[in-house]
Structure formats: C-alpha cells, structure tokens
Amino acid sequence: MTQPPSTRTARFPDGAFAYRDGRLFVEGVDLTAIAAAVGTPAYVYSTAQLAANWRAYADAFAGDGVEICFALKANSNLAVIRTLARLGAGADIVSIGEMERAMAAGIPAARTIFSGVGKGRDEMAAALSAGIHQINVESLPELELLSEVAVGMGLTAPVAIRVNPDVDAETHGKIATGRKEDKFGIDWGHARAAFARAKALPGLDPVGVAVHIGSQLLKTAPFERAYAKLAELVVQLREDGIDIRRIDVGGGLGVPYRPGDGLPDHAEYAAVVRRTLGHLGARITLEPGRSLVASAGLLLSRVNFVKDGLHRRFLILDAAMNDLIRPSLYDAWHTILPVKDPGGAEPVPMDVVGPVCESGDTFAKERLLPPMAAGDLVAFMTAGAYGAVMAGTYNSRPLAPEVLASGDRWSLVRRRWGVAEQMALESLPDWMQAG
C-alpha cells in the first residue's frame, strides 16, 4: 500500500515520528491514514529509524571489525529483520523458530549465534545441520548433550561458553541476567573447569567466551566491570591451552523511555569495549536488540471511551495488555501521544487502560495528557521492542497487524490475525463431534 508522494518537507527532529500539519506522522506517512486502512490497535515501524539506530552502532565501532548480531527476541517481524539484514546485521536467536525467521529474512545460519539456557536435542541438531556460526552454552549438561548430538551427526560444534560474572546491571530485576542468582550462564568460579571439559569432549570446538549482564542499561559502568572480568578470564583460559578466538559481549545499550532519561552514548560504549577487550585480538560480537528497534516502532490505538469517576478519569482504549504487555509485566513506561497535535491544550491526569477484564490491563496511572474524546487516536511510543513479539490472544483478541513505513510509502507486513484463525488451530475430540 502506498500514499502519493508528498510535497511537504518537514524535518523529523525527534526521530522518524513527528507532528506535521496537525497530526503525527511516521516519516512521510500520516498515522491517521494507516489507522483508517488497517484499523487499530496496530504496530507501525519506521525504516529510517531502524537504519539510524543501526548506524549508531556501526559508526561507533567503525574499523574495529565488530560483528553486530540483531537479537530477534526483541522483534521478529520478517520485514524488520530484512531491513537490518540489508544493513549488515547478523542474528542472535534463542529458538529454532527464530533461526528459520532469520534465514527467511536473509541472514544465513553462518552469521547466527544460538543463545538460550534450554536448547533441546532437536534444536541443536537443526542448528548444526544449518551450519550455525556459534552455539552459546550455559550449563555442563547442555555441553554434554551438544557433544553427543555433534558426534552423532559427524560434525564439530563451534561453542562459546556463557559465563555469569556476578555483575549487577542496575536495571529492572526481571531483565538483569548477570548476577549470581540469575539462571543464565555458568558460575564464574566454574568457568575454567567448564572450558576444560569442553576441550576434552568430542565434537566440540570451544572457540569463544560469552557474557550478557542484562537489558536496558543506560550507563556503561556495569559493562566495564563485566568486560574487565571477562578479559582476565580470556587470559587465564589461553594459559590453560584454550584457544579463545571470539568474545561475545551480549546485548547493547538501553533506550530512553521516559522524558529525562539520558540518551545512550554509543561512542562511550564502544570505547569501553576497546579499552577492556581490544588488546586481546579476538573477534568481538555484540547482540543489540531493544536499541535497534524500540524507538523505530509505536503502537497505534483508538479511544473507546472517556470515563469520569469520582476519583479518576479513565481513558479506555481498544489496545490492551495482550497487545503491549510491558506496562503490566514490568511496570514499564511508554510515552503516550495523541495523534492529533494537542497544541497548547492543558493536560489533565488520566488512567490509561485497555478493555481486558484485568486490573493489570493498565498502561499508565494519572498520566498527564491533553483532553481527548472517543474516536481519537493515540500512539504508544518506543514500542518497537518487546511489543508485537510478546503479544498474545488473551480474551480471544486478534493479534494486532504490523506496518512498515519508508519515506512516503507504507506496507502491511503482518495482517490482523483474527478469531477464526485462532479457532482453526483447535479441534473437538471425536466424542463431541455428533450433535
């Protein structure tokens, strides 16, 4: 689907989403037009912002030979992956389904890292058969199983062992992954023994060491602490006779969600990587997800009702927690903007909620927003990561469609998945068929 070329030349000082002619636009496309065509709720992504987010990393690490692998768990839409693949991204996956998506979008298994704590035998076999670049192992039982699978296939598995450095990422507890109480990685004190075991097992080539301390980091100090420990370990492992050629530093920077959040400094982050790991001569890989896609997407929704109670005003939307679960799951903040430019309207406090029959179906409490009425459109900003990809069909609600914009063009890149398609996956047992 396309819009005619626009003659308007407004700039986008706040990224690819900005008000023009009294309405919110994504690049050169009026969000009102998208809502009219595909309905709401709907996710909308910007090609230009995806590219800008990619360039922030590519420019910061220019000349360093660093491999940037997009973490598909943040957003697995094929058009989004293809956009990043064309820019040069590899893939970081946590399931074979994600590997198949990456390959379908143009990222071969040879440029893909398989992460995750619970890989099954069949997943390991599929990854090895496809020619996976690297499997990040997180436990000794996983190491033993991978050896067995690789030997049975007559292959050698390229392995990086993920270690847990016991570094607090200073982020939300549910997305911190590098503390000693977290389920991820092999305990720091067991790391050298785990590498010795990997070297001794048949069918394994322990090529690298991996670490990932968590998501949504806006400061570089936790990275520096973790990477400094990692550098010491690499030196020790090489002294032990383990030929460490690759270092996987995990996910990238966080993103600003709230007004006043500091902007992540890609140059400072790159300087930390160089300062702590650059002298080791290893191939470095990073796996950003959120910071590549979050600011490139929004969730478009429509106001169903404005409900005035004795104590609260409720803005009741057609989007719900099944469409965007982050506020319910993480108490996450998303800036909420009216699609119609509010001008100088005086904001009032509102609880922004969805129609699902749960008190947890609440996006914001007492959020200051301009006055709105039924039928008005709103946009949840910075929703390109962990939005559509975490959506579900609770209350038998359809999955929201996804749209990708590029300049004055836009395309429906996932249609709305309705109730009939949900029910088509189900069947009644034979004893219920008659009558």
The DSSP call for residue 262 is P
CA distance 198 to 175: 28
The two tokens of residue 428 are 């009644």
CA distance 188 to 194: 10
Write down how long the chain is: 435
CA distance 355 to 230: 47
Please report, to the nearest 10 degrees, the dihedral formed by the alpha carbons of residues 98, 101, 102, 105 taken in order: -160
The two tokens of residue 196 are 């010795």
Cα–Cα separations (whole angstroms), residue 251 to 52, 92, 115, 141, 292: 18, 9, 11, 25, 11
CA distance 235 to 4: 59
- Set 263, 357, 373, 420: catalytic member: 357
The two tokens of residue 161 are 């062992």
CA distance 53 to 48: 9
Is residue 69 among the annotated active site residues? no
State residue 303 phi and psi, 5-degree precision.
-75, 125
Residues forming the active site: 357
